Structure 1
């Protein structure tokens, strides 16, 4: 029987993959006597697979889905009438920090918030694991004793050995949100086909997000499921399996290997370059020191609806959402070009463009030519790797959070 409870609050697929998973990997060994519960709050970017993701994760004893969240928040009820230990801790890893306060008070547990940008409710919450000193300084001085700088959880990847290889590997990361996949998958499929046609020796891979499988990915390449499927060329796509390995077969001759294991840091580390969307992918690739090209395609202004916060909610409203999406994306394009705003994490951290960001009405041939140029000029890839070195994972944020947990629950 468990001695105490560790309750993790989270919400969307990004928070689960970049915050929850790294911390879970560090919890089991130091807390063998703990029962780990994951509680999910509603998220506008939800794929509907988040509960399955956490249920299948090693170390999780039980999980509560977003559909049952408010019943638990308000009444303390769960479908299975969960039992709670006398001692425990509630850890915020996504959603609303206020939920941490309410649930911790209800259960009589300690509270810990991972604060990426700012800490709230600092009068009442027990401790903050903050990403950097800037976040700590935003909190009034009299409460800063509650803060510990731990670093960026997104950069918490294990050391990976580089295995010598003879092929030039290109990874494609089209994202997991439908609003990204509608344009990203056909675009990256077309890029992959052109690259394979130019050089059949290129090794092409697609690491699948944990909420995506081969069948779902394949559906975005067909016009009956995706109105933008043929925007970049009328190619045929087939999902095939050879020796228990799935591939995306393009025009009956060009294969892209699908990787279902998650996380697949070892596979990504072997990539010479990746083509990716914006988001947490860019942070994790940076921590692995893998060069990348970041795509922000906006071919149909109403197709891009993956913005976070209020903008994302407005863009996804029924009936009028497409109108808002067009206005939001038009404004984003104009604003970005006028201000030279950067969206990829390594560029934001470096305060300059160290990896290329391509936004707007992208042409497949231009992206292919850029990748071929990197292939033919390896010194350019080496320069990107050099620029990414400062962001290589070495902060062990999850292990520092483990030490905070030990102190809070007096272990």
Structure 2
């Protein structure tokens, strides 16, 4: 029996931490014969999208077909894809990001079984066949008669800790030896994760570069690397280190850098500090070798937490109108022509006021306590560097942070449990047709 598995998703974070491990698990359970099992990914619009989500999904070898987000609304309304895909008679719609309501509509139209990964809440449970819940509390408010639809699978992001990339063992390689001296790589490596969207990169890149230079002055043996987000290319990233192209650069001293396109590209600051640009994804092996990471908020904090990599989370507010990546109505207002910057400033100020005491990094949210430092405000690079140097100078502090991250990241195995639920729904559909 030939079956289709239609994966619904939306943003870059969901693709990296949800879709990737699940499609890998589906192929392990259902095999790689495309004439028997076909996996399609349909993307819906996302306020955090970069425009390269379809390209990322297409790069996953387990996936057969991908439709970009710009074609989603016609598909939702008519059931026809832009490429006029055919559909097998049997199949499952699997929700891994977006609006859960889409699963109901598309599942009914295709007459497929439906499975939703519910991270925080479960909706439309009357019309959905199965829910893969992150935690039991997801179905606390669900009527008892629907309880049989729910299975606790755990946190998909916890899969990161057990999914190393195929890039090989980082330790002992000469990947970072860009100076050409032939000296072996040093053990102390600091990762810089300034973000993947312009709203974060405008402040994140110059802030990270300035911090790196401050650390370098005190600890010249420390090496720095930026794992380039899969939605970026190195040229785009480098523009945010160019004073002619990033108006926020003047907010941070000594924050400019030039791009060098060697075999492994790097940014070089005015004082000669070279910061590696790592383009292989996912960069789990690389991140696991970092002594410490400086990162913005977002899915990257969840990935670092699942890898138990110590981090300092940076939320700079030097220019409030630069941050325009909010969801829903705030995001629409912040991106209006002419008046968008005014709205962005007001919205960000209000959110910061209301959010005092709020936790932003995923490991801290999981633990409901500040495991990793969250620095919010008009951040001074020198002050952040002093904090980072203190951690680097006291390995026992880093080890303690790593241990606490391991304790809250949850058990792995969610992807395989979701794949098992999909297999069960395929079997249910097959059995119902045979009766």
Q: Distance in 2 between matches of 1:143 and 1:353?
A: 36
Q: In the alignment, is the contact (CA less than 8 A) between 1:236 and 1:252 conserved in 2?
A: no
Q: Deviations over 1:192-216 (max 9, x none)?
A: 2222233221121111111011111
In the superposition, the TM-score normalised over structure 2's length comes to: 0.89
In the superposition, the TM-score normalised over structure 1's length comes to: 0.94
Q: Deviations over 1:55-88 (max 9, x none)?
A: 1222111111111111111112223221111111
- Helix, strand or coil for the counterpart of 2:313? strand
Query: Cα distance, 1:394 vs. partner?
Result: 2.9
Q: Note the 1:18-37 alignment, pairs <5 A.
A: 18-32=17-31, 33-37=36-40
Which of 376, 386, 392 lines up with 1:359 in the alignment? 376
Which of 211, 216, 223 lines up with 1:191 in the alignment? 211
The residue that corresponds to 1:279 in the other structure is: 298
Q: Distance in 1 between matches of 2:267 and 2:291?
A: 20
The residue that corresponds to 1:56 in the other structure is: 59
Q: Distance in 2 between matches of 1:162 and 1:54?
A: 26
Query: Cα distance, 1:112 vs. partner?
Result: 0.7
Q: Note the 1:76-95 alignment, pairs <5 A.
A: 76-95=79-98
Which of 303, 322, 327 lines up with 1:303 in the alignment? 322
Q: In the alignment, is the contact (CA less than 8 A) between 1:180 and 1:304 conserved in 2?
A: yes
Q: Distance in 2 between matches of 1:398 and 1:380?
A: 32
- Helix, strand or coil for the counterpart of 2:293? strand
Is 1:156 matched up with 2:154? Answer: no
Q: Distance in 1 between matches of 2:289 and 2:24?
A: 22
Query: Cα distance, 1:372 vs. partner?
Result: 0.7
Q: Deviations over 1:128-182 (max 9, x none)?
A: 1111011021322111210111111122122558958742110011111211111
The residue that corresponds to 2:418 in the other structure is: 401
Task: Identify the range of structure 1 (316-325 vs 263-272) with the bigger mean alpha-carbon deviation.
Answer: 316-325
Q: Distance in 1 between matches of 2:403 and 2:47?
A: 37
Q: Deviations over 1:275-322 (max 9, x none)?
A: 001111111111111100000001111111222333323322333322
Is 1:228 matched up with 2:248? Answer: yes
Q: Distance in 1 between matches of 2:425 and 2:5?
A: 12
Unmatched tracts of structure 2, length 5 or more: 173-184, 431-435
Q: Deviations over 1:5-39 (max 9, x none)?
A: 11011111121112111212222222223111000
Task: Identify the range of structure 1 (395-404 vs 76-85) with the bigger mean alpha-carbon deviation.
Answer: 76-85
The residue that corresponds to 1:315 in the other structure is: 334
Q: Note the 1:12-411 alignment, pairs <5 A.
A: 12-32=11-31, 33-157=36-160, 158=162, 163=171, 166-242=186-262, 244-251=263-270, 253-337=272-356, 340-392=357-409, 394-410=411-427
Query: Cα distance, 1:392 vs. partner?
Result: 4.1
Judging changes above 3 Å, is the alpha-carbon distance between structure 1 residues 162 and 223 closer, same or farther for their aligned structure 2 residues? closer
Query: Cα distance, 1:331 vs. partner?
Result: 1.6
Task: Identify the range of structure 1 (21-30 vs 270-279) with the bigger mean alpha-carbon deviation.
Answer: 21-30
Judging changes above 3 Å, is the alpha-carbon distance between structure 1 residues 258 and 393 closer, same or farther for their aligned structure 2 residues? farther
Q: Distance in 1 between matches of 2:407 and 2:345?
A: 37
Q: Distance in 1 between matches of 2:254 and 2:291?
A: 28
Query: Cα distance, 1:225 vs. partner?
Result: 2.5
Judging changes above 3 Å, is the alpha-carbon distance between structure 1 residues 248 and 66 closer, same or farther for their aligned structure 2 residues? same
Q: In the alignment, is the contact (CA less than 8 A) between 2:29 and 2:420 conserved in 1?
A: no
Q: Deviations over 1:74-116 (max 9, x none)?
A: 1122232211111111111111111111111111111111111
Q: Deviations over 1:245-281 (max 9, x none)?
A: 1111111611111111111111110011100011111
Q: Distance in 2 between matches of 1:75 and 1:137?
A: 35
Q: Distance in 2 between matches of 1:70 and 1:389?
A: 41
Task: Identify the range of structure 1 (92-101 vs 135-144) with the bigger mean alpha-carbon deviation.
Answer: 135-144
